[in-house]
Amino acid sequence: MKEFTKNHLRLSDRILYALELALDQQDLDLSEALNKALELAMTRNSGGGEFVERRDYPKEIETAMNELRAMKRK
């Protein structure tokens, strides 16, 4: 289990942790909701309406998104 400290953790880190738990529990509905929340947390305050994200997601987020896609295909 991951250890958290309030001073070293962003909202997106906490949402990612919850998403990983939902994926482990094979909860598709909750995983989709948490994925949406993660996207919102990572892109808030980023440009205007025409903003396009150009950064790559961290490996942990890519892994979670791939697991969610695989769960949807089942």
Residue 48 has pLDDT above 60, yes or no: no
Name the pLDDT band for 64 (thresholds 50, 70, 90).
very high
Residue-level pLDDT at 44: 74
Region 9-28: mean pLDDT is 93
Domain-located, residue 29: yes
| C-alpha distances out from residue 64 to 22, 24, 73, Å | 10, 10, 14
Domain-located, residue 10: yes
Q: To which H or E segment does residue 24 belong?
A: helix 11-24
Domain-located, residue 1: no
Domain count, the chain: 1
Region 5-19: mean pLDDT is 81
Domain-located, residue 32: yes
How many residues does the structure list for the chain?
74
Domain hosting 32: range is: 6-45+54-73
Domain-located, residue 20: yes
Closest alpha carbon to 39 in 59, 72, 63, 65 = 65
Region 2-12: mean pLDDT is 68
Which is more confidently placed, 10 or 53? 10
| C-alpha distances out from residue 19 to 3, 14, 23, 46, 50, Å | 16, 9, 6, 22, 28
Region 67-72: mean pLDDT is 96
Domain-located, residue 63: yes
